[in-house]
Amino acid sequence: MGNCTLIITEKPDAAQRIASALDAQGKARKMNDNGVPYYLAKRDNDLIVVPSIGHLYTVAGEEGKRNSYPVFNFKWVPRYVAEKNAKQTRKWIEVISKLASEADMFIDACDYDIEGSIIGYCILKYACNNKENVSRRMKYSTLTKEALEKSYREMLPHLDFAFIEAGMARHEVDWLYGINLSRALTIAAKNWSGQYATLSTGRVQGPTLRFIVAKEKTIKSFVPTPYWSVRAEVEINGSIFEAEYEKRIIETKREANSVINACRGKNGQIDKIDVKKFQQTPPAPFDLGALQSEAYRLFGYTPMRTSNIAQRLYLDALISYPRTSSQKLPPAIKYETILKNLNRVPEYTKLTAELLAQTELKPNEGRKEDPAHPAIYPTGNLPERTLDSAESNIWDLVVRRFMAVFGEPTLRQSMKVSINVNGHHFYLRGRQTLEEGWLRFYKPHSQTQEVLLPPMKEGQTIPIRKAISEDKFTKPSPRYNPGTLLERMEDAEIGTKATRAAIIQTLYDRNYVTDEKMTATDLGFEVFEILHNYCPTVISIKLTKELEEKMNRIQGNSEKRENVLTETVENLKLVVEKLKAKEKIIGEQLSNAVKKAKFEERTIGTCLICKKGHLVILYSRKTGKRFAGCTNYFKGTCKASYPLPQKGSVTTRDRNCHKCGWPTVQVRMKGKQSWTLCLNAKCPSKEKWRKKG
């Protein structure tokens, strides 16, 4: 082909958009070689735009044995060499190598972050025959035509090698921790029980599990303390309101009774009305962590799901690059142009018009910055395909948050009314919005409490209908959910914006935690206790944070990758020695925990027929079909059994049916929403199906 430029991108969708944006006619030709798509575009010269499919290369041990540790020697290899399920990467590497042999110029156009930089670097080095030092770099934050053309015109002269060094160090350190510790746990359990179970931990996974176990221990050891609260029902202008007593916690029943007796049959008098006005500033623009937390709060999407949806919207050029830790929106993104484009969407027309009428568009920004990308914002492009409901929700959330940051502060008013009842003070609290400000742009995602009180004046007599005492108990702090755990990881500065969601998902996949309100399982406890007893450094939040800081210093050219790796190996040698010395004890503890976890995973609930056995998911030896049966079936004392769907996955739930109280299971068919199935054939919830049948 001669005199042509090879452009490497991270994903096929990005390749298609980049090729179309850079082609002089806007019509790049799609080609296909052995199932690998690539694009031909014409500009000042011929462009070949070829995508990767994420990482084509990875870290692997040099010796190739899978059942031994410690492992300290590694190299970067094609993923198909190291991973069984990555066979398709072979043809991608072969096609890229063939195209590279025809090119005389190279451009890395992968996402501009650590992961994207490593993907591009490895392809240029290994698949393109050492072209990493002659390649240029495109840097963009959105896949819009304008942004991509600008990125091509203003290419960086070479790759960001400090970025690449930091990224490779992170991968290598994480591999060293993950492979050695996970193998130590897995091999110990297998040698003891003879059965294989996937057990893992790592540099960030260990400290994250620590948060959950520490919370669980606090909850389990929490001793509720009794206390009493008093409130009064008061009548104002014919309406009844509830007033809280001045002491929120009353420690003895005697004191609570004496307050009730003192107020019985008495009127109250308003002795003070305190009115305060306060402003609520607009929110900061979304970084990835804030978007994940907000999507969990509003829609219940796990951080991993939100990250995947945001990535799809980015590849559709609807939002900017989502893996950012920035809360800044520079004027270069052209606020006005984005708002004018969003003005075409009926739901946003009125709101965008309001913002465009302002004399100046100035966003309220947060403190966090990211050298690679701004905060997440809508590009102003409108969907070219029908978005599914989850994609629509996330896109709408990003659009409304973007508009809200340009809004005026919200003006709110609080009112505290003090009522004196025979020397005891009760309070009424009101709260209302006087000026909506930014809130109207963020609806329906903004939640404000409006408590309106009727007109009152100081000295006014208030009839007291009754005073009520309530027995209460103190409660422990709530468990983490995926949203709050993500925030905790961010606060502790462990993991990265790109990896935190995956680590939370791994804790579920390994069965270390269960439920939406994240509860540590026995297996999670056991893994944590072993790490805590035999290698506490592995779950040290301080050490993990220090390692993160070292990675950042590599990125800033003030630390050498080799030094960090040498130090990691030295630390791991000590840890692995301890684990090897205690392998039998560890193996026994883990095997018992795995066995228990597997039984719990299959246990649906107590058998309602014999009341002694457990209903578990079983498989018939004759037919291979699954059903729910009682554990006492094997003892010949109970024959309870219930059919289960044969397709899809069936998982147990801790909740009984709200209609009939029988145990339930969760059924998930591929590509469909999960649903709850009650085992009771005569359950009222199945009435409509019985009628259909």
Q: Is residue 47 over pLDDT 90?
A: yes
Distance of CA 399 to the CA centre of its chain: 20
In the chain, the amino acid numbered 230 is V
Q: Are strands 649-656 and 663-668 parallel, antiparallel or unpaired?
A: antiparallel
| 451 lies in the same domain as 416 | yes
In a domain, 482, yes or no: no
* Percent of the chain whose predicted confidence (pLDDT) is above 70: 97
| pLDDT score recorded for residue 671 | 60
Q: Is residue 611 over pLDDT 80?
A: yes
513-539 tens-digit pLDDT: 988 899 998 889 999 999 999 889 888
CA 89 – CA 35 distance, rounded (Å): 11
Burial of 614 (0-12, 13-18, 19+ CB in 10 A): middle
| 9 lies in the same domain as 153 | yes
pLDDT tier for residue 21 given thresholds of 50, 70 and 90: very high
**Which pTM value belongs to this model?**
0.86
| pLDDT score recorded for residue 535 | 86
| pLDDT score recorded for residue 2 | 54
In a domain, 62, yes or no: yes
In a domain, 668, yes or no: yes
| 155 lies in the same domain as 25 | yes
Q: Is residue 97 over pLDDT 80?
A: yes
Please say whether the beta carbons of 213 and 201 come within 8 A. no
Q: Which residue has the higher pLDDT, 65 or 334?
A: 334
CA 163 – CA 680 distance, rounded (Å): 58
In a domain, 478, yes or no: no
How large is the angle between the packed helices 303-315 and 482-492, nearest 10 degrees? 80
Region 108-114: mean pLDDT is 94
| pLDDT score recorded for residue 1 | 47
CA 453 – CA 274 distance, rounded (Å): 13
Burial of 593 (0-12, 13-18, 19+ CB in 10 A): buried
Which among 115, 104, 109 is positioned nearest to 150, based on CA atoms?
Answer: 109
In the chain, the amino acid numbered 286 is F
| pLDDT score recorded for residue 231 | 95
Secondary structure class of 6 (helix, strand, coil): strand
In the chain, the amino acid numbered 148 is L
| pLDDT score recorded for residue 77 | 96
Q: Going along 135-201, which residue ranges are E strands?
A: 136-137
Alpha helices in 358-472 (DSSP H): 389-404, 439-442
The mean pLDDT value of the chain amounts to 91
| 230 lies in the same domain as 266 | yes
| 80 lies in the same domain as 56 | yes
| pLDDT score recorded for residue 65 | 66
| pLDDT score recorded for residue 343 | 95
Q: Is residue 693 over pLDDT 50?
A: no
Q: Which are the catalytic amino acids?
A: 321
DSSP string, 208-233: HHHHHHHHHHHHHT----EEEEEEEE
| pLDDT score recorded for residue 545 | 87
Q: Which domain holds residue 258?
A: 226-282+410-473
Q: Is residue 267 over pLDDT 90?
A: yes
Give me the half-sphere count of Cα atoms (radius 13 Å) on the Cβ side of residue 366: 16
How far is CA 456 from each of CA 120, 269, 295, 518, rounded to the nearest angstrom? 69, 11, 41, 46
Which among 191, 211, 187, 210 is positioned nearest to 200, based on CA atoms?
Answer: 187
Region 331-348: mean pLDDT is 95
Secondary structure class of 14 (helix, strand, coil): helix
At 512, which CATH number?
Answer: 1.10.460.10
| 240 lies in the same domain as 182 | no
| 432 lies in the same domain as 571 | no
In a domain, 258, yes or no: yes
Region 397-417: mean pLDDT is 96
Q: Is the N-terminal amide bond of 70 cis, ω within 30° of 0?
A: yes
CA 574 – CA 580 distance, rounded (Å): 10
| pLDDT score recorded for residue 673 | 66
| 45 lies in the same domain as 135 | yes
| pLDDT score recorded for residue 312 | 96
Which among 581, 635, 598, 642 is positioned nearest to 613, based on CA atoms?
Answer: 635
Region 78-85: mean pLDDT is 92
At 394, which CATH number?
Answer: 1.10.290.10
| 144 lies in the same domain as 194 | no
| 174 lies in the same domain as 143 | no
Q: Are strands 36-42 and 519-520 parallel, antiparallel or unpaired?
A: unpaired
Q: Which residue has the higher pLDDT, 605 or 562?
A: 562
| 179 lies in the same domain as 308 | no
At 441, which CATH number?
Answer: 2.70.20.10
Region 275-304: mean pLDDT is 95
Domain total of the chain: 5
Which among 451, 431, 438 is positioned nearest to 280, based on CA atoms?
Answer: 438
| pLDDT score recorded for residue 636 | 80
| pLDDT score recorded for residue 514 | 86
Q: Is residue 348 over pLDDT 90?
A: yes
Region 346-372: mean pLDDT is 93
pLDDT tier for residue 333 given thresholds of 50, 70 and 90: very high
In a domain, 347, yes or no: yes
In a domain, 94, yes or no: yes
Least confident range of 296-300, 384-388, 445-449, 459-463: 445-449
How far is CA 299 from each of CA 302, 389, 482, 647, 681, rounded to the nearest angstrom? 9, 11, 12, 28, 32
